[in-house]
Amino acid sequence: MNFLSDLILFIGSLFMFLAAVGLIRMPDMYTRLQAGTKAATLGSIAMILGIWVLHPEWSAKLLLIIFFILLTSPVGSSTIARSAFILGHIPWVKTSRDQETPS
Amino acid sequence: MSMLQILSLILIGSAVLLSLLRMLLGPTTHDRVVAADTIGVITTAGIVWIASYLNNEIYLDIALVYGALAFIGVVAIARALDSVRQGERE
């Protein structure tokens, strides 16, 4: 049981590290946004699941935290992307096509 | 503390350091906001880990409040940035 919890924790922290590497390596603000947000969300949920294996009596609050992260992380990232698009950030050349007008 | 736990702590620490590096040298303001968002999510999971390590349930409440405050901060900064621009247009 203990080893299973440690393994899930390690997988979660590996995804967090990959999120930070994507934050450094990606060429553009929008690609950095998706790398950081999605991988960090998966990593934190995996870490909280690992703690849940270790402490099953905390399951209500842990599920509340998971629900909260799943609720707020896409809202925050889409707000940042909307703000950047309104301010006229140009996407990376290889990802840009004909853009719609900012609303 | 087992070897796997130490390894995962090292990975979390280096993730926060790399995000701080992006916050330091990000070319635009939005890069810095993205890095702050990532650090907020990582720190929320870290506080949950601290709750397990100290075997104290009160840190889960702290993690919840920290996540809420990080989310409100990111949304406030993003809305403030584009509202400044819309004020210039009018």
Taking the C-alpha atoms of residue B72 and residue B77, their distance in angstroms, rounded to an integer, is 9
CA closest to A57 among chain B residues: B57
pLDDT of res. B85 = 62
Note whether B2 contacts A: Cβ–Cβ < 8 A. Answer: yes
CB-CB: which of A43, A80, A87 is closest to B85? Answer: A87
Whether the CB-CB separation of B78 and A80 falls below 8 Å is answered with yes
**pTM (2 d.p.):** 0.86
Residue A100: inside a domain:
no
Helix and strand tally (H, E) in chain B?
Answer: 3, 0
Mean pLDDT over A34-59 rounds to 91
Note whether A36 contacts B: Cβ–Cβ < 8 A. Answer: yes
Residue A78: inside a domain:
yes
Whether the CB-CB separation of B13 and A14 falls below 8 Å is answered with no
Note whether B85 contacts A: Cβ–Cβ < 8 A. Answer: yes
Does the pLDDT value for residue A103 go beyond 50? no
Residue A98: inside a domain:
no
pLDDT of res. B88 = 61
pLDDT of res. A90 = 77
Count of the separate structural domains present in chain B:
1
Residue A55 token pair: 């402490």
ipTM: 0.85
Residue A53: inside a domain:
yes
Count of the separate structural domains present in chain A:
1
pLDDT of res. B27 = 84
pLDDT tens digits, residue range B70-89? 999 999 998 888 877 666 65
Residue A33: inside a domain:
yes
pLDDT of res. A65 = 92
Residue A97: inside a domain:
no
Taking the C-alpha atoms of residue B68 and residue B17, their distance in angstroms, rounded to an integer, is 22
Residue A74 token pair: 């896409």
Domain that holds residue A64: 2-92
Note whether A84 contacts B: Cβ–Cβ < 8 A. Answer: yes
Mean pLDDT over A78-90 rounds to 86
A chain contacts of residue B63, beta-carbon cutoff 8 Å:
65
Give the residue from B20, B24, B38, B61 with the most A CB atoms within 10 Å of its CB, the best one to mutate. Answer: B38
Question: Quick one: pLDDT band at residue A19, thresholds 50, 70, 90?
Answer: very high
Domain that holds residue B55: 3-89
Question: Quick one: pLDDT band at residue A100, thresholds 50, 70, 90?
Answer: low
pLDDT tens digits, residue range B28-85? 888 999 999 999 999 999 999 999 999 988 999 999 999 999 999 999 998 888 877 6
Whether the CB-CB separation of A13 and B11 falls below 8 Å is answered with yes
Residue A59: inside a domain:
yes
Q: How far is A92 from chain B (nearest CA, A)?
A: 14
